[in-house]
Structure 1
């Protein structure tokens, strides 16, 4: 079982591509003066649906698949507006008011940060990731990222007062990431970040590059957490190439005893150097594992992975302990390395025939509702480890992405 947990969190909500579509239109104004705001950005988080207002502060978004979204409005000098909405198959006029930012009313004190260069580099490497696709991502506005390191907490944090722009040359997306909240905790060994990204299609140089982007998007989708959750929702786990097994963590009864002996010896020798035999004993005790991992080789039936409400058709991901999720139709990225502590030296590359990830639920009720598009109603309800923990911005797709339909069989 992994001792160190790498968490990749991105706040997402949305819907799948369905036949019912809706339109959003309205006006964006200053909340104090009621003046319409021209060139305000309005978008549905984690999608490709976005627009800017005209001289009258008006906007229109059409052809939106019905379902729940996070509506985001951004304008320079104003607070970011977030509103949860549900798009239906009829027009929904909106009157949105933006509040001026308090930063306009008072000065901002800038303090030098002697570690900013190294702190920013660690943030960028962790945020973008180390996959082949991630290495083709570039942050275009590094000066808009505020990075801080807390020595006492041994924690690196980052945010942006505007947005963070990432150009993904592997997938052909320009991603503007609003409301970024990034945390890299070296002490507790976890990484988390969330926000509200908007995806824009980059302009391809030619048809060959466009085809290359489409192929890479499909590759990023296959085996992803969204792909797996959609498969659970539609009861197609095996047919989509996933093999799911139960993983159970069992405490090691020897650990408590050896840990007590080690602490007692160190306390007794607190002001005296340890002898060579004592040093050897302490090192040997520290190698006793805290727990053991038991992998059940039998494939998990679908009923042990989900709960379906017959009346509404709603689906919940439900299981105990851990799930080992194997995606059998694609090998790991060539740069994939063994899981390691955050900040530790790189481990040898993994040679494997397929992708292996671990999934656990954070909720005490041990279940999380899945939307039809493969998103979770509560995105923070799961922890991902191993391969899913390895994938980052390089593989991030908009929630309205749908893989191309398979061609009909030849007759």
Structure 2
């Protein structure tokens, strides 16, 4: 029997200035007790990462407070993914990582489509990298490592890779080392989901104009983004930052028929003096808008804005420090008043460009909320379903790291 190996990682969070911390640790082989050099250690969806030295030590500086996924990869060891909370206080953790010597026994070799990239490459690029002009300047440098498998039974396409994907985003000025765990596209309803862990690295240039262009483009991308919304929601700055939240209710044909009849009765009752209104004033907005739905329309957005304290609840400090729980019924419609819908999005949606504010719909398909943090991160992401502008715009080509600071 082959020996069982683990890696022990000892983590220390030391506080630095501006609410940032230094993440330090040591990586050891639990069987031999010897340090492991060359282990890649990074915080997912950030530009914060390093490798262990010959003594197995590593140090990551300038880590903003928040919750992150710590990723550790090493040759002949299974990838480690664990959540870490960065606070101003010191913390120590011991983490175990299994060796590939045992993991490989459980791996089932999966077949893939030999012509996968030719058949599904465009789906992958449009839904993972993006459909906008950013796609032209954000490219995958090693597409041959991406494999595809079409499932005829449920009409889905899955993409996977046994090597990290290497991207170069010349629009935002980042290279991205992406550990893809899963990507699945449903051809029936054009919905997709993916899981992965990116490490960002800022590109360098001797051209001052290029550096300024990257800075400007990052800020423009940040304004109105999902990460900006989460940060604004956390900091209670929605109004200042330009976000408005409205209740959104989806209705089926039965509900539309029921409401239209009740609203008709209400209008007739109002014509007769002495008749008691059969609808409450607070319900009129809903009934009036549902009655005006036609054809396949199935959404109504109510006029009364949602207050932050109706959807955000402080998490018990014993469970998670400096976190809020984001939960709501039905759906939310989020509008960002400082940016109009761009031409490419309106072309995709068959709308007039630069007329309406960008807006997105958020729902909780599993009726479970998510925990949000100061840096814009949130868990568990699979519980959030996006429609509208964010469904179109929130792709790899527009992704910013969680340690992005618009003031720097």
Alpha-carbon distance in structure 2 between the residues aligned to 1:27 and 1:136 = 38
The aligned counterpart of 1:369 is 371
Contact 1:316-1:370 within 8 A present in 2 as well = yes
How many residue pairs get matched? 352
Alpha-carbon distance in structure 2 between the residues aligned to 1:31 and 1:386 = 49
TM-score, scaled relative to structure 1: 0.75
The aligned counterpart of 1:399 is 402
Using CA pairs under 8 Å that are at least 6 residues apart, name the structure with larger relative contact order, 1 or 2.
1
The aligned counterpart of 1:218 is 219
- Give runs of aligned pairs for residues 167-316 of structure 1, distance below 5 A: 167-253=168-254, 289=295, 292-308=298-314, 314-316=323-325
- Considering fraction of residues, name the structure with more helix: 2
Alpha-carbon distance in structure 2 between the residues aligned to 1:99 and 1:240 = 47
Contact 1:42-1:71 within 8 A present in 2 as well = yes
Alpha-carbon distance in structure 2 between the residues aligned to 1:249 and 1:310 = 32
Cα distance, 1:24–1:397 mapped onto 2, change above 3 Å: same
Alpha-carbon distance in structure 2 between the residues aligned to 1:393 and 1:227 = 16
1:21 CA drift (Å): 3.5
Alpha-carbon distance in structure 2 between the residues aligned to 1:178 and 1:18 = 31
Alpha-carbon distance in structure 1 between the residues aligned to 2:346 and 2:32 = 55
1:181 CA drift (Å): 0.9
- Could you report, residue by residue, the CA deviation over 1:117-174 in whole angstroms, capped at 9, with x for unpaired residues? 2222321222111122233101011122122111222111111212111111111111
The aligned counterpart of 2:273 is none
1:212 CA drift (Å): 0.7
The aligned counterpart of 2:147 is 146
Alpha-carbon distance in structure 2 between the residues aligned to 1:348 and 1:77 = 52
- Could you report, residue by residue, the CA deviation over 1:216-269 in whole angstroms, capped at 9, with x for unpaired residues? 11111100112112222222212111222222222223999xxxxxxxxxxxxx
1:68 CA drift (Å): 2.8
- Could you report, residue by residue, the CA deviation over 1:25-64 in whole angstroms, capped at 9, with x for unpaired residues? 3333455555544322111111111111223333222332
> Which 5+ residue runs of structure 1 have no aligned equivalent?
1-16, 257-287, 341-346, 406-411
Alpha-carbon distance in structure 2 between the residues aligned to 1:66 and 1:118 = 43
Contact 1:232-1:305 within 8 A present in 2 as well = no
Cα distance, 1:108–1:246 mapped onto 2, change above 3 Å: closer
- Which segment drifts farther, 95-104 or 156-165? 95-104
Two-structure CA RMSD over aligned residues (Å): 3.3
- Which segment drifts farther, 87-96 or 127-136? 87-96
The aligned counterpart of 2:45 is 46
> Which 5+ residue runs of structure 2 have no aligned equivalent?
1-15, 258-293
